[in-house]
């Protein structure tokens, strides 16, 4: 799939590919299934791209079902647990719900065959159909080498108060503007497009990464999903992330003190954003910047090649290790099954 379309290696969903490559040479890998605590199946569900390079999630359920069918027919391990000791990386907008529009994702729900597996996913929102208990939330992929190439001197003054580049309206999919980003991005534009403290635009300049390093606050509003690569970029470039996504569950909360490094603004409070940020005491801003300067904070957000200690790969391993030993009920009695192989939309049941 990657040979057919190498763009998969560079988009924000590429964690599924790099996790696979990391595990192939990792010291935690065993070739003896009897020694294994976990079973991992690489399935590249975001590698079916449009001409514009966006992943089409519509075939993903069929790809995933076909992979599970294959491993359950070929080896005995899936059937012992119905996947409860297996993990999958599902980095799409709404993870294993496999749709980029929230309404449709909720309607679909998590692919029934993954109900017992552990999901490693970028999507995180409290009390949401597409986030099941026990999932491991990860950052989206942002190319480490590319960001490294754009680093400027840490002594560069932060002369931009608030910075954002991206869409405010998605006219193609949401012409009226109330559904995309739940209206939060439209509100940003309407309220602050003329405010001199806010450097916000749809333009994506060649100096984008450098500009983030010159900014005090970087806006990280939800889009179609609550998460975006801006979160990674803000942390890596020492720009205080302003997180506008109600009930978001952030990656690696045990390694990254989000409440201390970020600013959380409710979607309904977007019109008050200028007051919220200008009234923040300078000592609080400096403290957040000092924490963001800690290299371990940046490392936890990245998928470098080769892997490095405490990077995102190792944070995922830590998350899997914390789930051991597997709870009672993981292993089924012979012949017992907890999964309904014919559940879900009829279109998902076609072989891929």
Q: Give per-residue pLDDT as tens, 20-37.
A: 999 999 999 999 999 999
- Residue 342's pLDDT is what? 93
DSSP 49: B
- What integer is the mean pLDDT of 174-191? 89
Instruction: Judge whether 164 and 188 are in contact, CB under 8 Å.
Output: yes
Instruction: Judge whether 315 and 252 are in contact, CB under 8 Å.
Output: yes
Q: Are residues 326 and 251 in the same domain?
A: no
- Residue 121's pLDDT is what? 98
Instruction: Judge whether 92 and 45 are in contact, CB under 8 Å.
Output: yes
Q: Are residues 219 and 311 in the same domain?
A: no
Q: Are residues 310 and 282 in the same domain?
A: no
**Gap between the Cα atoms of 243 and 227, Å rounded:** 9
| Torsions phi, psi for 19 (to 5 deg) | -65, -40
**Gap between the Cα atoms of 42 and 138, Å rounded:** 16
Q: Are residues 277 and 165 in the same domain?
A: yes
Q: Are residues 126 and 245 in the same domain?
A: no
Number of structural domains in the chain: 2
**Gap between the Cα atoms of 349 and 113, Å rounded:** 11
Which residues span the domain enclosing 48?
A: 2-141+306-348
- What integer is the mean pLDDT of 235-263? 96
Q: Are residues 56 and 68 in the same domain?
A: yes
Q: Are residues 81 and 42 in the same domain?
A: yes
Q: Give per-residue pLDDT as tens, 118-154.
A: 999 999 999 999 999 999 999 999 999 999 999 999 9
- Please say if the pLDDT value at position 177 is more than 90: no
The whole-angstrom distance between residue 229's C-alpha and the CA centroid of its chain comes to: 8
Query: Across all residues in the chain, what is the average pLDDT?
Result: 95
Q: Confidence class of residue 343 from pLDDT cuts 50, 70 and 90? A: very high
| DSSP string over 160-180 | EEEEEES-S--TTT-TTSSSG
Residues 6+ positions from 267 with CB-CB distance below 8 Å: 182, 183, 184, 222, 244, 245, 246
- What integer is the mean pLDDT of 15-20? 98
Q: Confidence class of residue 216 from pLDDT cuts 50, 70 and 90? A: very high
% of the chain beyond a pLDDT of 70? 100
- Return the CATH number at 236: 3.40.50.2000
Q: Are residues 136 and 24 in the same domain?
A: yes
Q: Give per-residue pLDDT as tens, 318-329.
A: 999 999 999 999
Q: Are residues 53 and 173 in the same domain?
A: no
- Please say if the pLDDT value at position 292 is more than 80: yes
Q: Are residues 133 and 244 in the same domain?
A: no
Q: Give per-residue pLDDT as tens, 71-109.
A: 999 999 999 999 999 999 999 999 999 998 899 999 999
Cβ-based burial of 108 (10 A; exposed 0-12, middle 13-18, buried ≥19): buried
Instruction: Judge whether 45 and 64 are in contact, CB under 8 Å.
Output: yes
Structural domain ending residue among the three candidates 264, 280, 299: 299
Nearest 5°: the CA angle 343, 346, 352 is: 100
- Please say if the pLDDT value at position 176 is more than 80: no
- Please say if the pLDDT value at position 57 is more than 90: no
Neighbour order of strands in the sheet with 263-264:
198-201, 160-165, 215-221, 240-244, 263-264
Three-class secondary structure of residue 199 per DSSP? strand
Q: Give per-residue pLDDT as tens, 7-16.
A: 999 999 999 9
Q: Are residues 324 and 201 in the same domain?
A: no
| DSSP string over 316-334 | HHHHHHHTPSPPTTSSPPT
Q: Give per-residue pLDDT as tens, 257-272.
A: 999 999 999 999 999 9
Q: What is the pTM of this model?
A: 0.95
Q: Are residues 171 and 102 in the same domain?
A: no
- Please say if the pLDDT value at position 351 is more than 90: no
* Residue of 245, 236, 252, 293 whose CA lies nearest to 270: 245
């Amino acid at each position: 799939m990657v040979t057919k379309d190498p763009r998969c290696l560079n988009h924000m969903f590429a964690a599924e590919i790099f996790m696979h490559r990391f595990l192939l040479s990792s010291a935690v890998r065993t070739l003896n299934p009897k020694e294994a605590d976990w079973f991992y199946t690489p399935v590249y569900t975001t590698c079916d791209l449009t001409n514009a390079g966006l992943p089409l999630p519509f075939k993903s359920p069929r790809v995933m079902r076909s992979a599970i069918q294959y491993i359950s027919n070929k080896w005995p391990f899936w059937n012992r647990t119905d996947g409860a000791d297996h993990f999958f990386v599902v980095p799409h907008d709404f993870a294993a719900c496999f749709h980029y529009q929230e309404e449709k994702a909720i309607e679909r729900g998590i692919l029934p065959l993954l109900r017992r597996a552990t999901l490693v996913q970028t999507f995180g929102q409290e009390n949401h159909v597409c986030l099941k208990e026990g999932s491991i939330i990860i950052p989206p992929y942002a190319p480490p080498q590319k960001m490294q190439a754009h680093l400027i001197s840490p002594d560069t003054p932060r002369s931009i108060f608030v910075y954002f580049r991206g869409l405010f309206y998605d006219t193609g999919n949401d012409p009226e503007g109330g559904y995309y980003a739940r209206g939060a991005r439209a509100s940003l534009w309407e309220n602050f497009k003329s405010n001199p403290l806010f450097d916000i635009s749809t333009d994506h300049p060649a100096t984008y990464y450098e500009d983030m390093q010159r900014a005090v606050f970087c806006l990280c509003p939800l889009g179609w999903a609550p998460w975006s690569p801006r979160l990674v970029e803000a942390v890596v470039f020492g720009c205080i992330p302003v997180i506008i996504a109600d009930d978001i569950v952030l990656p690696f909360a045990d390694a990254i003190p989000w409440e201390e490094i970020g600013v959380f603004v409710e979607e309904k409070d977007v019109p008050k954003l200028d007051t919220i940020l200008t009234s923040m005491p300078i000592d609080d801003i400096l403290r957040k910047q000092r924490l963001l300067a800690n290299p371990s904070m940046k490392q936890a957000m990245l998928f470098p090649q080769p892997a490095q200690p405490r990077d995102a790969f190792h944070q995922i391993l830590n998350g899997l290790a914390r789930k051991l030993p597997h709870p009672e009920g993981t292993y089924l009695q012979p012949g017992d099954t907890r999964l309904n192989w014919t559940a879900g939309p009829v279109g998902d049941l076609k072989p891929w």
